[in-house]
Amino acid sequence: MNKLILELYISVISSVLGINLKDIKKVINKGKLKDAGKLEISESIDDVSKKLEDSKEIIETALLEIEKQKELFIQMKKEAEISQQISSMNQEQVTALNEILKNTLDKQEKKAFPKNLLWNLFFCVLSAVLGFVLGRYF
């Protein structure tokens, strides 16, 4: 209802003055729209700038984290290589120790064979004599 009355006043004033107030109103509204549009664009640019800054910070944080992970990976790779070298050295040492022990045992067995044979023969004769004695008297 207010709008209708306002339109009526504008028509009356326009006819009295001989100027079309509706056109002036449109021009004023266009100026306001331009200012409002500029303000919206400015706010949009500010929002985009803020979001870009936030994105930049996130990307920088991610890059720092990636760098840390890369350094950690390099360190772990070095440790794995060292561990593999130690393992290979240990394996070689175990093989060498086994070979030494095998040779030592072979030599001891060759030396011990005559002694063992004599002891075995002694105990065999002793058990035969004791068996004969026990069988005869008991």
Which three-class secondary structure string do you get for 74-131?
HHHHHHHHHHHHHHHHHHHHHHHHHHHHHHHHHHHHHHHHHHHHHHHHHHHHHHHHHH
Task: Read off the pTM.
Answer: 0.39
Query: Rounded distance, CA 60 to CA 54, Å?
Result: 10
**Residue 51 reports pLDDT greater than 70:** yes
Query: Rounded distance, CA 92 to CA 48, Å?
Result: 65
H helix count then E strand count, the chain: 2, 0
pLDDT at position 25, please?
A: 66
Could you count the other beta carbons within 10 Å of the beta carbon of residue 10?
15
pLDDT > 90 fraction of the chain, expressed in percent and rounded: 14
pLDDT at position 39, please?
A: 64
